[in-house]
Amino acid sequence: MKKILFLPLILSLLSCEDVLVEKPKAVAVETFYNTANEVEAAVNAAYAQLRANNGITGQLGAQLEAYTDYSYGRGSYQVLSDFQGLNSTNIPRTDDGWRLFYLCIRNANLVIQNAPKGSSISPADVTKYVAEAKYLRAFAYFWLVRNWGGVPIRTEATLSEPNVKRNTVEEVYTLILSDLKEAEANLPDKGTQVGRTTKWAAKAVLAEVYFTRNQYAEARDKADEIIKSGKFSLVPVTVAADFDSKVFGPTVVTSTEEIWYLKATRQGGQGMYLAMFAHHPGSRLHGAGGFYAHYSDTQSNPVQKTWDEKDLRKTAFWYSWDIGLGKNSILCKKFSDPVAATSDGAGNDFPIYRYADMLLLYAEAASRAGTGPTAAAMEALNQVHRRAYGKVPTVASDVDFKLADYTATTFHELVLKERGYETQYEAKRWLDLKRLGTAKLKEVIKTATGKDVADKHLFWPIPVSELNYNTALTATDQNPGY
């Protein structure tokens, strides 16, 4: 059984707005933020929202997986694969994602506001835990701004203010970058527990933020700091099954590849819910059954059809299963746990930042920051590619791509393709395509699915509850199409 850094649900509730009222609120602040252990517990409450069933590691992740070029949604997720926006079934799911991100932000804000006032906590611990809270706040805002656009900024300065205007995208990114730079400077080199954030996790988010904003030189340099640190490496594999037993499986506690993952355990309510969406009950790859909410096809889907059979990821990540659509249908196998007792009890951790991510990010950013691919960029790409074919990641191989064969344009397409293979079912593909601009996203989806992406599909609607109760917002603040 994995060690897990989160405390029971009651601790999360202690930091929620509807519990901290009047006198109990004052007592909680005076008695709960005074020692390092108490402040750490409060920080844990911010983590809890990120790994909730309806968040990134579950329902919200399932939403994004229906938007990919390599698979399709099924059941209530099928409409999402039409790329025409959300219906009445799916809007409440993104609404709950909004709620969870803002709960994370609120819990982080409570730490940022109250930890410096603690009576029995050292300045060093205050600095560390405030940095951790700012990391989590920045991460939540990064997800909000990419999926909703500009959003209301709530910080420790506006904790008691219910009415906050919708800030611009640029204003949100200004806060994100400020928080992450402080986190990078003050987080420890290594977490006290597996799953806690570190300065390396902060560098990884900074790299992706810069990457998303087309600040390629900055993205390249942050990724390069992680690469050159020597603290991380790809986990070698020789057969497809090694991806399960050594990289993504439910019994893997940590690995040399992990920069920051949301940790899970097989306890009900503490596991990774997204795994339940992948499987068919008959496959027995999830102990509690499966929703098989996503599927693909080896013949009609061009990503799957053209994928080299010698790439171990193809059989490691997918398995054949007839779901009533014919013998060519396949389901995602990347996260499986045959002994998970409940739907939200899979023991697979959810990868947020892996070393493979940073290698691929570096490869593209280095090329875009200059005049085309460099030897170092090609080597970073080849390390991921070699591992996919069961080769030693750091040793030149017969599967290597050759620098002389690629221009800037063809190299960028090559890296995007490799990222598409490597990060499947990690809720990353849609956001990866979005960062390249609307035209490129629409082109990739059209090529793979034959469908046109509606403009209203690019951002999720701001919840009606937010528009109703936040009087600083008006109907004009709603995203187009809703």
**Integer angstrom CA distances of residue 27 from 16, 30, 45:** 14, 5, 18
Nearest CA to 101 out of 141, 61, 68 is that of 141
pLDDT of residue 30: 52
CATH code reported for the domain at 193-449: 1.25.40.390
**Which pLDDT does position 27 carry in this prediction?**
36
Q: Count Cβ atoms below 10 Å from residue 338 Cβ, excluding itself.
A: 12
| Residue in this structure with the two tokens 């069933």, named with its chain if needed | 53
CA 128/CA 183 separation, integer angstroms? 8
What is the enclosing helix (H) or strand (E) of 385? helix 375-388
CA angle (337 as vertex; 333, 343 as ends), nearest 5:
100
Rg (CA), the chain: 22
Q: Does residue 348 contact residue 279 with C-beta atoms inside 8 Å? A: no
| Domain spans, the chain | 16-50+90-187+452-482, 193-449
Q: Which CATH class is domain 16-50+90-187+452-482?
A: mainly alpha
Cα distance between residue 288 and residue 277, in whole Å: 11
Q: How many CB atoms lie within 10 A of CB 11?
A: 15
Shortest CA distance to 262 belongs to which of 1, 4, 33? 4
For the chain, the straight-line distance linking the first and the last C-alpha, in angstroms and rounded, comes to 45
pLDDT in tens, the chain (482 residues): 343 333 333 233 333 333 212 232 333 555 689 999 999 999 999 999 999 999 999 999 999 999 999 999 999 999 999 999 999 999 999 999 999 999 999 999 999 999 999 999 999 999 999 999 999 999 999 999 999 999 999 999 999 999 999 999 999 999 999 999 999 999 999 998 999 999 999 999 999 999 999 999 999 999 999 999 999 999 999 999 999 999 999 999 999 999 999 999 998 788 999 999 999 999 999 999 999 999 999 999 999 999 999 999 999 999 999 999 999 999 999 999 999 999 999 999 999 999 999 999 999 999 999 999 999 999 999 999 999 999 999 999 999 999 999 999 999 999 999 999 999 999 999 999 999 999 999 999 999 999 999 999 999 999 999 999 999 999 999 999 99
Say which residues have a Cβ less than 8 Å from residue 33's Cβ, sequence separation at least 6: 39, 42, 110, 111, 114, 115, 117, 118, 121
Cβ distance 152 to 166 under 8 Å? yes
Residue 90, SS3 per DSSP = coil
Single-letter amino acid code for the residue at 80:
L
d(CA 62, CA 403): 37
3-state secondary structure of 275: helix
Predicted pLDDT of residue 267: 85
Separation CA 294–CA 307 (nearest Å)? 19
**182-214: string of b/e by CB count within 10 Å (b at 16+)?**
bbbebbeeebeebbbbbbbbbbbbbbbbbbbbe
| Closest by Cα among 364, 473, 460 to 146 | 460
Whose CA is closest to 69, among 385, 364, 443, 459? 443
Tell me what pLDDT residue 32 has: 86
Please indicate whether the domains covering 16-50+90-187+452-482 and 193-449 agree at the CATH topology level.
Answer: yes
The Cα–Cα gap between 25 and 18 comes to: 10
